Amino acid sequence: EVQLVESGGVVAQPGGSLRLTCAASGFNFDEYTLHWVRQAPGKGLEWVSLISWDGGSFEYGDSVKGRVTISRDSSKKSLFLQLSGLRIEDTAVYYCARDALKWSYNGYYLDVWGKGTMVLVSS
Partner 1 sequence: EIVLTQSPGTLSLSPGERATLSCRASQIISRNQLAWYQQKPGQAPRLLIYGASNRATGIPDRFSGDGSGTDFTLTINRLEPEDFAVFYCQQYGASPKTFGQGTRVDIQ
Residues that bind partner 1 (CB under 8 A): 35, 37, 44-47, 50, 59-62, 95, 100, 106-111, 113-116
Nearer to partner 1, 12 or 37 (CB): 37
Residues contacting residue 55 through CB under 8 Å, at least 6 positions apart: 71, 72, 74
Nearer of residues 27 and 47 to partner 1, judged by Cβ: 47
**Contact call for residues 110 and 3 (beta carbons, < 8 A):** no
The smaller minimum CB distance to partner 1, of residues 16 and 112, is found at: 112
Give the shortest CB-106-to-partner 1 separation in angstroms: 7
Give Cα separations from 64 to 37, 56, 101, 104 (angstroms): 12, 19, 25, 22
CB of 44 to partner 1, least distance (A): 5
Residue number with CB closer to partner 1 (16 or 105): 105
CA 15 to chain centre: 19
Instruction: Give the nearest distance from C-beta 61 to partner 1 in angstroms.
Output: 5
The residues with which 116 forms a beta bridge, in sequence order, are: none
